[in-house]
Structure 1
Amino acid sequence: MQTDAATAGETRLHGGVGGVVGQRAAATFTSTVAVEDPARLPMDRESEGRAASIADAQQNVNVRPSQIGTAGQLLAGGIAGAVSKTCTAPLARLTILFQVQGMNANGEKLSRPSILKEAARIVREEGFMAFWKGNGVTIVHRLPYSSVNFFAYEQYKMHLRSMLGIEGKQESLGVGMGTRLLAGGAAGITAATLTYPLDLVRTRLAAQTNHMYYTGISHALKTIYTEEGPRGLYKGLGTTLLGVGPNIAINFCVYETLKSLWLQSRPDSSPIVVSLGCGSLAGICSSTATFPIDLVRRRMQLEGAGGKARVYKSGLVGTVGHIVKVEGWLGLYRGIVPEYFKVIPSVGIVFMTYEFIKRILQPDAWD
């Protein structure tokens, strides 16, 4: 019966014979004619086209991997990090200066952080270019850090998807967020560990004001090694990894999840707008969640710097307790305002630049 109906339906499409089949064939014919109604055809095709676009966008975001090679991924990640850090260097330095203001052993009362007052002080005492103090080492650090970070994330995510048996397939929202969190955390820890001495030097150079104890990258590395030993180059690494892992995990997870949802609902959106918007929101989420541990790691990195007396002598827990006792719980968020001003453009720029470089290197990889 099904074969007869299909044959009759095909015959009718070529102008064939009505009454040789039963009711089912007649119903099929009626349905076919209704679909071919010229008045409804444009609307139906438009709906089908939009549905296909949404499906394609979702497929591109969640399933298709980047087709650029290892060198391309490393290059895109490095350039993205360097561009982002250079654009937001003034706010990054303000954040560091606010974070370390509480490092005084005499318990003096701290004034309320003021971005405008601190910015005016920097210009007055150190000059305008002092906003980029330490940016040279930031670039030296950020090029390998971002390269490893993005490359490791893509690799970890690919292996996780392969282990779960979902490589090349559509994934659920929960599974997608889980793989992004795990891959992002592992990538952040990998990149931070490999480039940590440069991060330590960057912090110490940026925290200097009028007295220049360290004159440059090589001098800082040599001085730290001589005065504090090899372990001094990794001072605060444990605390850093506690913050970097969750921070990068949240960044990648929020960014890619929001990007996926955005492109599903608006597949024709500008890639620049999508990257900036989703990246900025990801930066806000990650900074809010991990800022206290970042503040603690900055202070631990500066312990004993420049021959100064140690303020915190009992590790991570003792440092947190000292800050809360002297500055209150809000002391753990000292400098969060310039941090927000920094991460909103910074994370958006880094993701936008990364996507842009990938498109240049492999224009058809995301078509």
Structure 2
Amino acid sequence: MDRRDFMASLVAGGCAGMCVDLTLFPLDTIKTRLQSPQGFHRAGGFRGIYAGVPSAAIGSFPNAAAFFVTYEGTKAFLAGCLPAHVAPITHMIAASLGEVVACLIRVPTEVVKQRTQASPSLHTHHVLLSTLREEGVRGLYRGFGSTVLREIPFSLVQFPLWEYLKTLWRRKQGGQLDSWQAAVCGAVAGGVAAFVTTPLDVAKTRIMLAKVGTTTASGYIPPVLYEVWKRHGVSGLFAGSIPRMAFISIGGFIFLGAYEKVRHILL
């Protein structure tokens, strides 16, 4: 990846991330409260729907920029090493590495954001200071493993499917796609990936919201999922799936469409 490609991926990814996170924040709040162990209404219901938005605003640009710089860089590197017929594997590896790097930025902002969403009477800076005081910097990375284990399967579905749908559409019309067409492919790929990985998202939310010292706070996904299944059945494992699918489908349209548009303009 040359310097021009690097800057295009950095700026386009950051702009796309901010567009999605700030536009669709209310849906994310509803999803978090549906998955909260205290229940939707006790977590705030429809009140304070923008609680935690400062955390999302601060983290969205560097988070998305880190992902796309890593994704495009890895994709370009592997394209020179692997044959064209294994392109889906290239996209899977690139997306997985991108998610690991992005989670270094995403998890602290996600912890503060979700705790604020589930306690709308508190402000973002109060939640941040409380977390640092009670748990230290490690508290900001509570749920790092569960987030990575949610994001990698998500990306293994979303990005190869996105690239595949774009390739099919490109072949069908015999030319390059417009940014809105790439956005439609992103919406479909995102919706499918969102539904499949909802149980992992439920586990991640529960781990981040758990009280310090509890079994859930230790961050082990299987016992958390088993507890949810035991208490709430399959519906509990897919709690928040509708707003999550809506968020990520619309978000995929905006995110990947904006990314393609801005990158095209810059290049």
Do they superpose with TM above 0.5?
A: yes
Match of 1:328, SS state, is: helix
Of 304, 317, 333, the residue aligned with 2:238 is 333
Counterpart of 1:342 in structure 2 is 247
8 Å contact kept, 1:188–1:249 = no
Q: Which residue of 1 aligns with 2:113?
A: 202
1:151 correspondence with 2:69: yes
Deviation of the 1:207 alpha carbon = 1.9
What is the count of residue pairs matched by the alignment?
A: 265
Contact 1:312 1:322 in 2 (8 A): no
Residue 312 of structure 1 corresponds to: 216
Match for 2:104: what amino acid?
T
Alpha-carbon offset, residue 187 of structure 1: 0.8
CA distance in 1, matches of 2:171, 2:227: 48
1:187 paired with 2:98, answer: yes
Name the CA distance, whole Å, in 2 between partners of 1:313 and 1:247: 23
Q: 1:11 — aligned with what?
A: none
TM-score by length of 2: 0.90
Contact 1:145-1:192 within 8 A present in 2 as well:
yes
- Whether 2:9 is the aligned partner of 1:77: answer no
The worse-fitting range, judged by mean Cα deviation, of 278-287 and 69-78 is 69-78
How far residue 250 of structure 1 moved from its aligned partner, in angstroms, is: 2.1
Aligned partner of 2:201 in structure 1 is 294
Alignment partner of 1:220 is 2:106: no
**Structure 2 residue identity aligned to 1:73:** S
Asked whether the 8 Å contact 1:280–1:346 carries over to 2, the reply is yes
The residue that corresponds to 2:137 in the other structure is 230
Q: Distance in 1 between matches of 2:134 and 2:6?
A: 39
Q: Distance in 2 between matches of 1:121 and 1:239?
A: 25
Give the ranges of 4+ consecutive aligned residues of structure 1 lying more than 4 Å apart after TM superposition. Answer: none
Q: How does 1:105-184 map to 2 (within 5 A)?
A: 122=46, 126=47, 130-164=48-82, 166=83, 171-172=84-85, 175-184=86-95
Question: For residues 188 and 159 of structure 1, what CA distance do their matches in structure 2 show?
Answer: 17
- Contact kept, 8 Å, 1:68 with 1:358, in 2: the verdict is no
Q: Distance in 2 between matches of 1:341 and 1:320?
A: 23
1:87 corresponds to which of 19, 23, 38? 23
Q: 1:259 to 1:91 in 2, by over 3 A?
A: same
State how 1:59-70 maps to structure 2 within 5 Å.
68-70=4-6
Q: CA deviation at 1:347?
A: 0.7
Equivalent runs, 1:49-64 vs 2, <5 Å: none
Cα deviation, residue 193, structure 1: 2.3
**TM-score after normalising by structure 1:** 0.67
CA contact (8 A) 2:107 2:143 kept: no
> Quick one: which amino acid aligns to residue 124 of structure 2?
G
Higher Cα Rg, which structure: 1
- Structure 1 unaligned segments of length 5 or more: list them: 1-64, 105-109, 363-367
| Alignment CA distance shift 1:78-1:85 (3 Å) | same
Counterparts in 2 of 1:269 and 1:162: CA distance versus 1, 3 Å: closer
Q: Distance in 2 between matches of 1:348 and 1:67?
A: 27
Identity of aligned residues (%): 25
Instruction: Classify 1:92/1:267 alpha carbon distance in 2 versus 1 (closer, same or farther; 3 Å).
Output: farther
